[in-house]
Structure 1
Amino acid sequence: MDDLLRIDDGLTDDQRLIRDTTRSFVADNVLPHVGDWFEQAVFPARELAPALGELGLLGMHLTGYGCAGLDAVSYGVACRELEAGDSGIRSFVSVQGSLAMFAIWKYGSAEQKAEWLPRMAAGEAIGCFGLTEPDHGSDPGSMRTHAKRDPSGDWILNGSKMWITNGSVADVAIVWAQTDDGIRGFVVPTDTPGFSADEIHKKMSLRASVTSALYFDDMRLPGDAVLPEARGLKGPLSCLSEARYGIVWGAVGAARACLEAAVDYATTRRQFGKPIAAFQLTQEKLAWMYVGVAQAQLTALHLGRLKDAGNITPQQISFGKLANARTALDTARQARSILGGNGITLEYPVIRHMNNLESILTYEGTQEIHLLTVGKALTGLDAFR
């Protein structure tokens, strides 16, 4: 399918190389299998992680410790191509690099960085990020998970986390907890006594992704398990901004995949003696879908350039996540209608993307939270409470 606006012409040669390399990886390693993964609700994290690490996609926007140190647009392009395959693989890469690795890279001690970041960049160790709780999603400041120092100087961690990507396959969890000194982050090896994780089943979205609940039962951690540079909600929220930026791009990939499937189907499916793409109503749907996808891509590219210039704000990322997740879901729904009954089968990617995008609309900040963030930026008035 031709890109009428030729948006990728604005990428550098290196960024186009990352695009093509990631797209080839997805074509060879994800697309032939992802329908089965989705149907069976499995994700081969251990098998894929080393290959993703070898390509330099894990923590690719971080510097040092075996990370590629690439620019924000390059990271965004990779997220776009990964999510064109499936939201699950982009989520894996985002959680590994933008949540778990970024938290250690930004807020960790020299020892924590040296211990975990090289292994995580290589895909030898998998990370997860424990912030959301069963009763505290959009309001993480009210979390109940808590950590207390005992006389020995160790931390005793108790509580639980919910909807944690990679949770039951992770080697290390970044866990945020209430302490006497406010909210702090902890680097938690998952083989520590008192840690347990249960995979969440019966999902109808992000089925090709590991989603888990985490539990901490009188879990003893050494005094140096705390992230020394993170205090309060600013730490975890800055990590979420990193991950949300990847979603801004990833949603474009899912939407593009649905549009491409719809164009291909409409130009080959014949009814009343001609391809359904020859009917005005179908062309109107396709045209509006392309307008939405192209505008979403322009938003992602603009935010990427702002990020590379060091000028991006959390409010701008909220705008991008809100707009692009909504556009991608609308695009998937229109594509499903063009494919008719075939649109609900896993022989085509549309219903899989459509179901996944229902989660994308919600996680890393719900649509309502991002609306209020944009509203506050416009009015100066806080409507969260």
Structure 2
Amino acid sequence: MDLQGRSWQRAVVDPLEKCMLDLTGRTAFDEGHAMFRESVRKFFARELVPHLERFEEQGIVDRDFFRRCGAAGLLCPTIDEAYGGPGLDFGFNAVVNEELAYLGSSAGLQLQNDIVPEYLLRYGSEEQKQRYLPGMVTGEVIMAIAMTEPGAGSDLQGIRTSAVKDGDRYIINGSKTYITSGQNADVAILAAKTDPSKGAKGISLILVDADTPGYQKGRNLDKIGQRSADTSELFFSDVRVPASNLLGEEGMGFAYLMSQLPQERLSIAIAAHAGAQRAFDEAVRYAKERKAFGSTVFQFQNSRFTLADLKAQLQVGWSHIDWCLARHNAGELTTAEASAAKLWHTELQGRVADAALQLHGGAGYMNEYLVAQLWRDARVSRIFGGSSEIMKEVISRSI
């Protein structure tokens, strides 16, 4: 294909051969995971790759894409059979995560699969599980977590959204921002102050259906990267929800959020490393095809040494991802270990994406090349889920 064509169009031509994550040396997966990965690849080649560019341009993934993922068995692998899921281990989530990130997609499957279900499974009532989990598995129900506010990001104790008890209901007022899947979401797990006098112990989680009067979706925010992941403002004006929508116990919201951090941060680390691998692979392909001064870019020692250094780091990184997966599936991955994984792999993603763009030269700054998107998408991974600075603080507390 002409190098002036969009790099991701290669995937449309032959997705299973020219755009495939190399699994050589991986230790975290068994035969069941391998069979599942093959089905995921075929599904994405058919149902995602042809729409990648359109999703990026429109700033949101089609609702129907979630339903197709559900029908293909790609959603919520860890949800129990009692609620319509297959009840598998997190390794199946990791397969979807890796393949999605390697394709350069920021579709909201990571939130739908890896983050939201655990709150319902661990803290939800039986009625809440029956109401929401089967729909999450089929893709009929899309959920978001509404934590961040204009004045409160990593410091969740600073949130101002309130939920005041009024008989058998909560009255919610406030606003949220930077909410992933905010436009598509049918339901939000809302972090709100139920007792402002208690600080972190006064935060509760409440399920709020998007069609509740007073719940308003604001703008689909214009981001630098990860454009196909809709990210929104949400507004709550005298939103009245049943007290039974409380997730778990009142005042335990902050503790619940903290307890789910290992899986969330591992999920981010996995996606970051797969994205870094794709950026590297794009750089290798371009360097071996692009001619300069009578030879390919790859023939220059600087190019080869740069790529050799990155390959070594990626090799070490995949071993660490597999170690983390084994620890997590055994219930042993600590918050500090998961934070270290997020810190290391997202920082590596940034370095690899930047080096890959540099090896593309001027072409790397052109949006028609996938490496430009991979570079843009990589930047936020060092911010969401806890910034690199917060990760260092968390890790330091374990020393």
- TM-score norm. by structure 2 comes to 0.89
1:351 aligns with 2:361: no
Aligned partners of 1:303, 1:276: CA distance in 2, in Å? 36
Amino acid at match of 1:26: F
Where 2:332 maps in the other structure, the secondary structure is coil
Q: Distance in 1 between matches of 2:22 and 2:124?
A: 45
Displacement of 1:243: 2.0
Is 1:178 paired with 2:193?
A: yes
Selected match of 1:195 from 209, 215, 232 = 215
Alignment pair present for 1:46 and 2:57: no
- The one-character-per-residue Cα deviations of 1:159-180 (angstroms, maximum 9, x if unpaired) are 1111001112211111011113
The alpha carbon displacement at 1:107 in A equals 0.8
Distance 1:101 1:5 in 2: 27
Deviation of residue 199 (structure 1)?
Answer: 2.7
Q: CA–CA distance in 1 between the matches of 2:249 and 2:103?
A: 36
The Cα of 1:277 is off from its aligned counterpart by 1.0
Tell me: CA distance 1:197–1:72, structure 2 relative to 1, closer, same or farther (3 Å). Answer: same
Moved over 4 A (4+): 1-5
Deviation at 1:278, TM superposition (A): 1.5
Q: Deviations over 1:49-70 (max 9, x none)?
A: 0122123222212323112222
- Which residue of 252, 260, 270 corresponds with 2:273? 252
Q: Which one of 7, 22, 26 corresponds to residue 40 of structure 2?
A: 22
After TM superposition, give the deviation of residue 147 of structure 1 in Å.
0.7
RMSD: 2.0
Report what 1:274 is aligned to. 295
The answer to whether structure 1 residue 210 and structure 2 residue 230 are counterparts is yes
Q: Secondary structure at the match of 2:216?
A: strand
- AA aligned opposite 1:174: I
Match of 1:148 in 2: 164
3-state DSSP class of the match of 2:26? helix
Whether 2:389 is the aligned partner of 1:368: answer: yes
Deviations 1:192-243 (A, max 9, x none): 0010111333321111110001111111111101012471411122334322
Number of residue-to-residue matches in the alignment: 374
Cα separation, 2, equivalents of 1:71 and 1:229: 27
Identify which range, 139-148 or 96-105, moves more after superposition: 96-105
1:377 correspondence with 2:398: yes
Name the structure 2 match of 1:77: 95
- Quickly say closer, same or farther: Cα 1:201–1:10, change in 2 above 3 A: closer
- Between the aligned partners of 2:105 and 2:336, the Cα distance in structure 1 is 23
In 1, the alpha carbon distance for the partners of 2:187 and 2:271 equals 25
CA distance in 2, matches of 1:31, 1:338: 25
Q: Deviations over 1:100-140 (max 9, x none)?
A: 32211211111010011001110011111011111110100
- Alignment match of 2:256 (pick from 235, 242, 245): 235
Amino acid corresponding to residue 263 of structure 2 in structure 1:
E
Q: CA deviation at 1:328?
A: 0.9
Q: Distance in 2 between matches of 1:75 and 1:363?
A: 19
- What residue number does 1:62 align with? 79
Q: Deviations over 1:50-99 (max 9, x none)?
A: 1221232222123231122222223212211111123512xx11221333
Deviations 1:25-72 (A, max 9, x none): 33333333323432x242223021012212322221232311222222
CA contact (8 A) 2:336 2:398 kept: yes
SS in 2 for 1:175: strand
Matched with 2:357 is: 336
DSSP-derived class of the 2:333 partner? coil
Q: Is the 8 A contact 1:62 1:69 kept in 2?
A: yes
Question: Residues 93 and 114 of structure 2 are in contact (CA less than 8 Å); yes or no, is this contact kept in structure 1?
Answer: no
Paired letter, 1:8: R
SS at 1:59's partner residue? coil
Q: Which amino acid aligns with 2:55?
A: W
SS at 2:129's partner residue?
Answer: helix
SS in 2 for 1:168: coil
Structure 1 match to 2:6 = none
Secondary structure of 1:207's aligned partner: coil
Q: Unmatched 5+ residue regions in structure 2?
A: 1-17, 196-200
Q: TM-score, normalised to structure 1's length? A: 0.92
* 1:163 alignment partner in structure 2: 178
Aligned to 1:219: 239
Q: 3-state DSSP class of the match of 1:213? A: strand
**Residue 119 of structure 1 pairs with residue 135 of structure 2:** yes
Counterpart position of 1:381: none
2:55 is aligned, of 37, 60, 67, to 37
Structure-2 residue corresponding to 1:138: 154
Q: Does 1:11 align with 2:38?
A: no
Summarize deviations over 1:318-352 as a string: whole Å, max 9, x none: 01111001101110111101111221223321111
Offset of residue 9 of structure 1: 5.8
Identity of aligned residues (%): 30
Contact 1:99–1:128 (CA under 8 A) maintained in structure 2: no
Counterpart AA for 1:212 = S
Q: Please name the residue that 1:383 is paired with.
A: none
Instruction: Flag the 1:304–1:148 CA change in 2: closer, same or farther, 3 A.
Output: same
Kept in 2, the 8 Å contact 1:58–1:121? The answer is: yes
Q: Could you tell me how far 1:4 is from its partner in structure 2?
A: 9.1
CA distance in structure 2 between the aligned counterparts of 1:160 and 1:76, rounded to whole angstroms: 32
After TM superposition, give the deviation of residue 16 of structure 1 in Å.
1.6
1:145, distance to aligned residue in structure 2 (A):
0.9
CA distance in 1, matches of 2:306, 2:92: 31
Q: CA deviation at 1:3?
A: 8.8
1:108 is the counterpart of 2:129 = no
Q: CA deviation at 1:311?
A: 0.8
The letter for the 2-side match of 1:186 is I
